[in-house]
Structure 1
Amino acid sequence: MFFNIVIISSYFLKFKKMKKAILCLASLLMLVTTGYSQSVWKVEKGGKVMYLGGTIHMLREQDFPLPDVYDKTLEKSDVIAFEADLDKAKTPDFAQMVMAKCQYSDGRTLRSVLEEDTYTALEAKVESYKLPMEHLTRMKPSMVMIMMMAMEMKKVGIGSKGVDAVYHEKAKDRKLPIKYLETMEEQMDLISKMGEGDEDEFVKYSLEDMKNMSGDLVTMLDEWKAGKPEYFTEKVKEMKSDYPEIYKDLLTDRNNKWLPQLENMMQDEPAEFVLVGVMHMYGNDGLIHQLERKGYKVSQLK
């Protein structure tokens, strides 16, 4: 659960306009379609086929079972692809790398990078979760906030494995070849730079937003269960308008990096099923429109 949050939240902290960062971040985490045939697309060109599946990385228990369209697509696929290797996140070596990158190693501490009143507010919030503040003093503020956000999500039952984890296990059980679009190390390199230079502002506004976070998350999930593509399209537009730097770093740059890999997949015979966060699908810079502009036929599965 912890690392899934870290992956999706990368680069939210480098943007200075962060008053609603936590709520916007939560919306990205929660974008799941639970009714939702529109979350799987068929890509065709020259007799070759690939499938794109929009996912959410964390769900509630009541969000299972997942819709049949995912299983049916898996049955038609020869290869499955994910953003990154989920199994690596479970290894001791990876845990050590996370801790090394997400802690200060130059003598800085939470107290030294935050204003006194912000530090006091953070300390109170940390202690409300029964977390020992003395164990977190060398951690970067972004990591502390992510940990607390995970605990807020847990309060409303969010934290169960998501679509990616379910189908990662199914692919291994069926001995399907698995591909990855990026590495965990690449994602950690992004995460390790989160919030640099804006630590105090990020913590201050995030603490304020967390006051109503649990209720907001439940409302969001209930609304998104309808799975209307118009909602996702509008969210992408809002993100591009309100958070252009985040939009570029989190979506556009990664989509542009993934696109050549998807095109390479379309050159071979096996049918790949590519599962990535649903926000990567929508908007002018989304994978669907980019593939269409390159001459691929993209259609939603019903």
Structure 2
Amino acid sequence: MNLPLKTALSALLLAAGAPALAQAPAPAPAPALVQADPALWVVKDEDTTIYLFGSVHVLKPGIMWFDDEVKAAFDKADTLVLEMVQPDQNEMMSKLTKIAIDPDGPPLSEKLEAAPRAAYVAAMTDNGLPWQALESFEPWMAGITLAVAPLGKLGYVEDAGVEKVLTKAAQAAGKPIVGLETADEQLGYFDTLPEAQQIAFLNATVAELPKMETEFGKLVDNWAKGETETLGEQMNASMEATPELARILLFNRNANWAKWIKARLDTPGTVFVAVGAGHLAGPKDVQDQLKALRVETARVKAADLGL
């Protein structure tokens, strides 16, 4: 079963807690400013408005996305809704110890065949990560660790990511922040993957690490330009070829969130929902799931917000 790097990158974008687990410190030169225009959708009825925004959990400083339609919609909102309200680092590490460790299985490296094992050890070493430290962990944890490890060196930081920026803005404005899922639930999506898929995920991440800069750069570029069809194709093609992974990480969650959005329409007010960009692009995305529930979504234009 082939799980190319696009799957690892999709997983990164889907799990809000993942980047904080292993992100290396980034260099701090003065960033060049880049104007972005990511997509924004709206769902509304007579007394409720729900904005839907696709997030990227780590970005390079200097990408100017929190303005124009996105900022205007956020300012109108009474509540910010994220995939997860992220616990502090100590709490997250405690949860990982509980969820990601395999107390009964053999060491992680022994679960890999000879050639993939050598490649995995080399990849960990090249990224300054002690492979021995993950011997008691399940393969998915090593896969995510390696998927995010190079991003800090490439200049991507969590503090510039969408969730961090929106959370700080909501706190400053006194807006309540709600999570669609808990940290335990998000980590559980990876933890419940069959071990064979976890190993395939890890092996493919290792094999395609040299493409990380190019592939992740394309994802961010498509997001920044609001090119959702291209983004959906890039992120979801490999996941469609692995139905179990797609079902757990994408489609089931999209369906659950669509039901939440429909139910939220019964409560008056304005809500700004930010979830991983992969959930709002491609087949069976949140918009498709809402359509199946007979709830219409519309792409927001500047004029819709009086801009």
TM-score by length of 1: 0.81
Identity %: 23
* C-alpha distance in 2 between matches for 1:28 and 1:188: 11
CA contact (8 A) 1:85 1:183 kept: yes
What do residues 95-151 of structure 1 show as CA deviations (whole Å, max 9, x unaligned)?
112123212211521233122333222222222223233322212232223222222
User: Over residues 165-203 of structure 1, what are the superposed CA-to-partner deviations in whole Å (9 max), with x where a residue is unaligned?
Assistant: 211121122111222211111112222234513455444
Does structure 2 conserve the Cα–Cα contact (< 8 Å) formed by 1:61 and 1:160? no
Deviation, 1:239, is 4.6
- In the alignment, the residues of structure 1 paired with residue 289 and residue 84 of structure 2 have an alpha-carbon distance, to the nearest angstrom, of 21
Per the alignment, residue 54 of structure 1 pairs with 54
Native 8 Å contact 1:282 1:289 kept in 2: no
Aligned residue for 2:9?
26
- The residue identity in structure 1 corresponding to 2:2 is K
- CA distance in 2 between counterparts of 1:297 and 1:190 reads 28
* Partner Cα distance (1:241, 1:194) in 2: 16
Greater shift in the superposed pair: 54-63 or 133-142: 133-142
Corresponding residue for residue 169 of structure 2: 170
Residue of structure 1 in register with 2:2 after alignment = 17
**Aligned CA distance change for structure 1 residues 23 and 263 (closer, same or farther; 3 Å):** closer
Measured after TM superposition, the shift of residue 216 of structure 1 is 3.2
Other structure's SS at 1:170 match: helix
- RMSD between aligned alpha carbons? 2.7
5+ unaligned residues in a row in structure 1: which ranges? 1-15
Report the counterpart of residue 261 of structure 2 in structure 1: 262
Task: Give the letter for the 1:142 counterpart.
Answer: W
SS at match of 2:244: helix
- Residue matched to 2:45: 45
Partner of residue 133, structure 1: 131
Per-residue CA deviation, residues 226-249 of structure 1 (Å, 9 max, x unaligned), is: 322331343466356423332222
Q: Between Structure 1 and Structure 2, how many residues are aligned?
A: 281
TM value normalised by structure 2? 0.80
Q: Which moved more, 1:287-296 or 1:176-185?
A: 287-296
Partner of 2:252: 253
Per-residue CA deviations over 1:15-36 (Å, capped at 9, x if unaligned) read x332x1x2333256469x9632
1:260/1:152 CA distance change after superposition, 3 Å: same
Give how far 1:62 is off.
2.8
Corresponding residue for residue 216 of structure 1: 215
- Structure 1's 258 and 203: CA in aligned 2 closer, same or farther, altered over 3 A? closer
Q: Distance in 2 between matches of 1:125 and 1:237?
A: 25
Q: Distance in 1 between matches of 2:235 and 2:204?
A: 22
Q: Counterpart of 1:155 in structure 2: which amino acid?
A: K
CA contact 1:28–1:279 (8 Å) conserved in 2: no
CA distance in 1, matches of 2:187, 2:56: 19
* Correspondence for 1:159 among 157, 160, 164: 157
Secondary structure of residue in 2 paired with 1:181: strand
Distance (Å, rounded) in 1 between the aligned partners of 2:78 and 2:204: 46
User: Matched residues in 2 for 1:119 and 1:151: separation?
Assistant: 18
The amino acid that maps onto 2:84 is A
Q: Amino acid of the residue matched to residue 138 of structure 1?
A: S
- Equivalent runs, 1:229-244 vs 2, <5 Å: 229-235=228-234, 238-239=237-238, 241-244=240-243
1:92 pairs with 2:125: no
Distance 1:240 1:206 in 2: 14
Q: 1:254–1:125: structure 2 CA closer, same or farther, 3 Å change rule?
A: same
